[in-house]
Amino acid sequence: MTTIINSLAVPSSYRDQLYQGSSNQLTDDLSTTATLYVGNLSFFTTEEQIYELFSKCGEIKRIIMGLDRHQKTPCGFCFVEYYHRTDALDCMKYINGTKLDERIIRCDLDPGFREGRQFGRGKSGGQVRDEYRTEYDAGRGGWGHRMRMELERNREKNIKENYEAIKEIPKGADEYKSRSTNAQANSKRRMDENENEDESRKRQKENPRFRENDEEDEE
């Protein structure tokens, strides 16, 4: 039976560039897989949140969080493996395109997780898409990697042009430093004298014999 509505339970046209196999093998893997690739996640979305949402479609075998290759922190994607393919297809129908952490997430049938795919492939360690992102996205680390590099270069250039290091000591700086040092020394001396006076009064108050000795000395 034909229909004018396209099924959501089919993989997108995206192909993993590092997939090791022929196009026929990829087709076979996608036709039997129970694994989903989930993209456009917030860096702050937890594995518990993903489990709570995706378990509504079926029993989950495991969740593999995508990590920054260098920092080993979440970088916006994950793999969700179900025990049954029908659950993965239901997830494509009902969860793909919905919101999680105020972000529209993308689900796609995946030929199967292999060790190493959990790490970002960008030069900075994260996802390639974040290398070229030019808009600010708080949920994915702020500015994209290249934009951050450009902002840092501009900041350093601005500092160099407008805040050059002082090469010569300004006139009068030595005199000011000398006055400041003397003032600090005098202040410390006054504090020491006050402490000595306070200590003497305390001894006189606490020890009556000390006061008697002082009176005899005065006579």
Please give the pLDDT value at position 137: 83
Residue 191's pLDDT is 77
Query: Helices (DSSP H) in the chain: which residue ranges?
Result: 23-32, 47-54, 85-94, 128-132, 145-162, 173-206, 208-218
Token representation of residue 68: 């920054």
pLDDT, mean of each 10-residue run, the chain (219 residues): 65 78 90 95 96 96 96 94 96 94 94 92 84 83 72 70 67 62 70 72 64 54
Is pTM beyond 0.85 here? no
Separation between Cα atoms, residue 54 and residue 60, nearest integer Å:
8
Domain boundaries, the chain: 21-123, 131-167
pLDDT at 100: 95
Phi, psi of 181 (to 5 degrees): -65, -45
Supply the pLDDT for residue 95.
95
Q: How far apart are CA 110 and CA 81, in angstroms?
A: 9
Is the CATH number 3.30.70.330 carried by domain 21-123?
yes
